[in-house]
Amino acid sequence: MSTSTQMDIHEILEYLPHRYPFLLIDRVLSCDPGKEIVALKNVSSNEPFFGGHFPHYPVMPGVLIVEAMAQAAAILSFKTSGTKPDDKTVCYFVGIDGAPFKKPVSAGDQLIFKVKLIRNLRGMWKFSAVAEVDGQVVTEAELMTTGRAL
């Protein structure tokens, strides 16, 4: 039987090796191991990428939105397997399919990531992921990750 749980930034830091400025998940709203995770990122005007992408009309780079979806997927894979990463393991983002960018993301937006587990076969995880702002899809993709011992 699975349970849906929330996670604050302190617990997220236990599941992701990323740190500022590359940690892109602020909170997990719900996590149902083996099924799905819903996470969020508050997009702030002081994000380091806004100074150069694009100064006249700051937009969050699409690649970072996809990376944030992959970070949510990594948390879901660890929660599903009942493990936490350590200094001898890493979860790699190894593939992406079909990632159209439908709407720009700007300072003040709150990104909601909805990631569902499609399958886990011999350590290869596949997910469907959607990023939304105010209920509108900004991008979606199928993501693949794998864990490796160092």
Q: Which pLDDT value is given to residue 88?
A: 83
What is the rounded distance in angstroms from the CA atom of residue 2 to the CA atom of residue 55? 45
Residue 51, C-beta contacts closer than 8 angstroms, at least 6 positions apart: none
**CATH code of the domain in which 52 resides:** 3.10.129.10
* CA 10/CA 27 separation, integer angstroms: 9
Please identify every residue annotated as catalytic: 53
What pLDDT sits at residue 1? 43
Q: In the chain, how many domains are there?
A: 1
Chunked into runs of 10 residues, the chain (150 residues) has average pLDDT values of 80 94 97 98 94 89 97 95 86 93 97 98 95 98 88
| Residue 100 in tokens | 């159209």
Do the Cβ atoms of 28 and 37 come closer than 8 Å?
yes
Answer yes or no: pTM beyond 0.75: yes
Q: Residue 109 is part of which domain span? A: 5-149
3-class DSSP state of 121: strand
How far is residue 39 from each of residues 7, 55, 56, 129, measured CA to CA in Å? 9, 28, 29, 11
d(CA 11, CA 8): 6
**pLDDT value at position 7?**
97
Categorise residue 2: left if φ over 0, alpha if ψ from -120 to 50, beta otherwise: beta
Q: Cβ distance 131 to 140 under 8 Å?
A: yes
